[in-house]
Structure 1
């Protein structure tokens, strides 16, 4: 079961990075190339503890539905989303945030198990792990771009980010 780790430094406050990371709207923007959209549960705004979102997206040429739930939450330091239903056997996506001089370090760990046993392991090593790494890295680049450029106001609104 692979675990993918992505580190991204963002020259922005921790609260902003945290909120952009849980924004359904920015998630949709960052995965535009997959046609990803929220179709059930929380479909816009910021997802909170105990809430679910169901995504419809085309990954690896196949339209899929995936439902995840926020199972742990401590704003602005971390939250965890875990798969409830979807193509993986299971996944746990930990998103941690640490204040640093000049900004925030985002640490994302995507720990998953593919279905199909040994065949799933072969698929992981052949292409799935690298595909997921690229997808997660692209998402963090979009979060960084929105946080550092002021574009975040289009997604969150000026009054949505509350310090502390």
Structure 2
């Protein structure tokens, strides 16, 4: 099962970074390239423990829907969301946050299992893992840019 681990250092308080990572609104802005739209469940604001969101997006040329649910939560150091419905066999996305001086270290751990057996494993090797890594990096860049500017005040009204 592929495991993607990304570390992003952000010059902002841990509470702001934690909340921006839970923001449905910022996620929508940060995923313009895939036209992600929250269509059910929690569709705006900050997602919390036990809440779910259904996203509709275009990935790899196909429009898909995916529902994820926040299954673990410890403010402001950790939360995890897991796929409830969607194309993957399963996925779990852990979000870890640590304070380092005046910075926050945000660590994403994304583990997933592709569908379609051996064909899914081949897709992971050829392109899917790199595609997902790039997608998560773009999202993290957006969180960093918003957290390190005054834009976070608009998102976290």
TM class, shorter-chain normalised?
Answer: over 0.9
- TM-score with structure 1 length normalisation? 0.95
After TM superposition, give the deviation of residue 102 of structure 1 in Å. Answer: 1.8
- What is the distance in 1 between the residues matched to 2:100 and 2:150? 19
CA RMSD of aligned residues (A): 0.4
Q: Which 4+ residue blocks in structure 1 deviate beyond 4 angstroms?
A: none
In structure 1, the residue matched to 2:150 is: 150
- TM-score with structure 2 length normalisation? 0.99
In structure 2, the residue matched to 1:84 is: 84
- What is the distance in 1 between the residues matched to 2:33 and 2:131? 13
- What is the distance in 2 between the residues matched to 1:154 and 1:15? 15
In structure 1, the residue matched to 2:4 is: 4
User: Structure 1: where are the runs of 5+ without partners?
Assistant: 158-164
Residue 40 in structure 1 maps to residue 34 in structure 2: no
In structure 2, the residue matched to 1:162 is: none
- Number of residue pairs matched by the alignment: 157
Question: Is the partner of 1:149 in helix, strand or coil?
Answer: coil
In structure 2, the residue matched to 1:21 is: 21
- What is the distance in 1 between the residues matched to 2:106 and 2:78? 9
Question: Is the partner of 2:134 in helix, strand or coil?
Answer: helix
User: Structure 2: where are the runs of 5+ without partners?
Assistant: none
Residue 129 in structure 1 maps to residue 129 in structure 2: yes
